[in-house]
Amino acid sequence: MTPDITMLHVMWNRLLSVVEEQGQALIRAAFSPIVRECGDISAGIFDLRGRMLAQAVTGTPGHINTMAEAVKTLLTLFPVEAMEPGDIYVTNDPWIASGHLNDFLLLMPVFHEDHVIGFTSCTSHLVDLGGKGMGPEGTDIFDEGLRVPPCKLVNAGEINALLVDIVKANSREPIANEGDIYALIACCETGSARLSGMMAEFGLDHLDPLADHIIETSRRGTLAAIAEVPQGVYRNRLMVDGYENDIELFATLKVEAEGITLDFEGTSGCSRYGINVPLNYATAYSVFAMRCIIGPEIPNNAGSLDPFRVVGPEGCILNAVAPAPVAMRHTLGQMTPDLVFGCLHQALPDRVPAEGASAMYDLPLRNAPEVAREGGDVFAIEFVHNGGTGARPAKDGLSATAYPSGVLGSQVEISESVAPVLIKRRELRPDSGGAGRMRGGLGQHIEVESANGNPFLLFLSVERVKYPAMGRAGGQAGMPGRIRVGDGEDLPSKGEVRVEAGETLIFETPGGGGFGPPSERARDAVARDVEDRVVSAHVARASYGWGSE
């Protein structure tokens, strides 16, 4: 019996609950703080054709939208008819999974009544896989750690112990890696069990009617939303810090009735260092940006993703090909939403925010090499912090907010409990949000030092140090980011930094741009900013004319 429309919607909602429980299983079981505290994951359910039907709310666009394509690739490598109950497949290949080696992607067939009816999949970040690790210093993919080709992680319920041992043997954090692998397995198994249970409850023996309903409904809704965007061609250019040179990102957005195409033609070529971006990752964040403006209320699945296409010439920095180094691909990949917003603002000027900090301040820390040789603490941790978002046409920007990554900021107590560091200060950064009718969100000021008398290393790869987030429609730019050690000179945005015992690492995340002329900001809003100490009286007078009326 084919379910009626009401029952299809009931099952759709149930599927969303199933996949959210799947995602929470990963977070609860994970060992690494970046997973269990910050939510650097994805989880999804797929039909037999590899189409994503539902995703967990918790997760990053870089994981979720790359996973949506990775499952299709894995299904071309592993025939469904050869799969057995309990099988789980894995890869961290950057050009299949989510753009760099530290993300493991798993795929598990869901068996119901002795046949495969769909798949569960998930991705999460493993903190260290050896090599030069999380940092931009590698000059090819082989520098950056262990690469796992698509293979079986679990064979008919029996884990591939040799593979797990290899991962552990190539890591500075072997216990965390092993725990996170088991958490990923638990995520797949939870989704599989709950999906099979849902099938039994609703008396289903296959997902086809529900899958077709989800995909077609979402696709129609997305095409209707695209129809509200004026057709045409829109272009935007964005300058970013880069590493050895400044980098130009270029986008051409073509809006047609049947969909939207984004082309990176004109973008700078690849860097020698690990800030290059595989196209799958650049696509994930670019499409996410478009979906934030166009039909944002439509659930994210294969149907709502289908009308968007992203292309770029091979060898440009947003379409890096193997064996390019890509460890810090998020640095530029997370700038693509601002690149896209610059195009969309031309078509929808009242719906697109100003530029924001965008790229998260992911700060990998490790013990200095001599500490390990002398029997000291060996550790690898990633501090994740965020700047301010751009002001919106009718609202201020958000301060210290994870956009577009969705990866929450590292917590002070948790960070100090898992690594020998002391966080001396963490607060909002006054005056960092760009002035405007709507003010940009604020960045943060954070100070860190060694907690055990040993030096440590920082692997910098951040943005918005040279080129701040620009305002829109007359709004002013936000403050750029800033990194230094003690009273030393400001550091460049990329490179390895050694912090000696007793020294203080100081980093300030960027603020978002303002929207609209500052002269149009409501007087009571300026007074409230000054009272809350997010804007100083001096800047309020200079930017808003506050106190002169």
pLDDT of residue 301: 97
Query: What does DSSP assign to residue 406?
Result: -
Tell me the DSSP string of 172-185: S-HHHHHHHHHHHH
pLDDT of residue 58: 87
pLDDT of residue 4: 86
Phi/psi at 89 (nearest 5 deg)? Answer: -105, 155
In a domain, 147, yes or no: yes
**pLDDT grade for 549, boundaries at 50, 70 and 90:** low
pLDDT of residue 327: 96
Domain tally for the chain? Answer: 2
Distance CA 527, CA 531 (A): 6
In a domain, 12, yes or no: yes
Mean pLDDT of the chain: 95
Reported as half-sphere exposure (CB side, CA atoms, 13 A), residue 264 has a value of 33
pLDDT of residue 277: 98
Phi/psi at 111 (nearest 5 deg)? Answer: -95, 135
Distance CA 531, CA 536 (A): 9
In a domain, 321, yes or no: no
For residue 57, pLDDT beyond 80: yes
Among 219, 247, 265, the domain-final residue is 219
Question: What is each CA distance from 543 to 436, 527, 537, in whole angstroms?
Answer: 8, 13, 10
Question: What is each CA distance from 418 to 125, 176, 428, in whole angstroms?
Answer: 16, 11, 24
Residues 295, 301, 302: CA angle, nearest 5 degrees: 110
CB 546 within 8 A of CB 526: yes
Place of tokens 């696709």: 219
- The string of pLDDT tens digits covering residues 172-213 is 899 999 999 999 999 999 999 999 999 999 999 999 999 999
Question: Which of 243, 343, 324, 344 lies closest to 279, judged by CA?
Answer: 324
For residue 254, pLDDT beyond 70: yes
**pLDDT grade for 231, boundaries at 50, 70 and 90:** very high
Distance CA 340, CA 358 (A): 12
For residue 373, pLDDT beyond 80: no
CATH number reported for the structural domain that contains residue 90 in this entry: 3.30.450
Place of tokens 């994981």: 63
**pLDDT grade for 547, boundaries at 50, 70 and 90:** confident
For residue 379, pLDDT beyond 70: yes
In a domain, 40, yes or no: yes
Tell me the DSSP string of 85-128: TT-EEEE--TTTTTSSTTEEEEEEEEEETTEEEEEEEEEEE-S-
For residues 458-487, give the mean pLDDT. 97
Query: What does DSSP assign to residue 139?
Result: S
- The string of pLDDT tens digits covering residues 286-332 is 999 999 999 999 999 999 999 999 999 999 999 999 999 999 999 99
pLDDT of residue 548: 63
**Both tokens of residue 284?**
């994930």
In a domain, 320, yes or no: no
For residue 243, pLDDT beyond 80: yes
Among 219, 246, 264, the domain-final residue is 219
486: left (phi over 0), alpha (psi -120 to 50) or beta: left
pLDDT of residue 284: 97
Distance CA 447, CA 424 (A): 5
**pLDDT grade for 372, boundaries at 50, 70 and 90:** confident
For residue 374, pLDDT beyond 90: no
The length of the chain, given as a count of residues:
549
Phi/psi at 412 (nearest 5 deg)? Answer: -60, -55
Distance CA 184, CA 308 (A): 29
In a domain, 169, yes or no: yes
**Both tokens of residue 212?**
């077709």
pLDDT of residue 481: 98
Domain that holds residue 23: 5-219
- The string of pLDDT tens digits covering residues 271-282 is 999 999 999 999
Phi/psi at 391 (nearest 5 deg)? Answer: -60, 150
Among 184, 219, 254, the domain-final residue is 219
Q: How many angstroms from the chain centroid is the CA of residue 198?
A: 30
pLDDT of residue 1: 58
- The string of pLDDT tens digits covering residues 6-30 is 999 999 999 999 999 999 999 999 9
For residue 380, pLDDT beyond 90: no
**pLDDT grade for 375, boundaries at 50, 70 and 90:** confident
In a domain, 328, yes or no: no
**Both tokens of residue 52?**
């994503």
- The string of pLDDT tens digits covering residues 412-444 is 999 999 899 999 999 999 999 999 999 999 999
pLDDT of residue 371: 81
pLDDT of residue 292: 97
In a domain, 501, yes or no: yes
pLDDT of residue 546: 87
Question: Which of 238, 232, 243, 333 lies closest to 289, judged by CA?
Answer: 333
**Both tokens of residue 189?**
């198994």
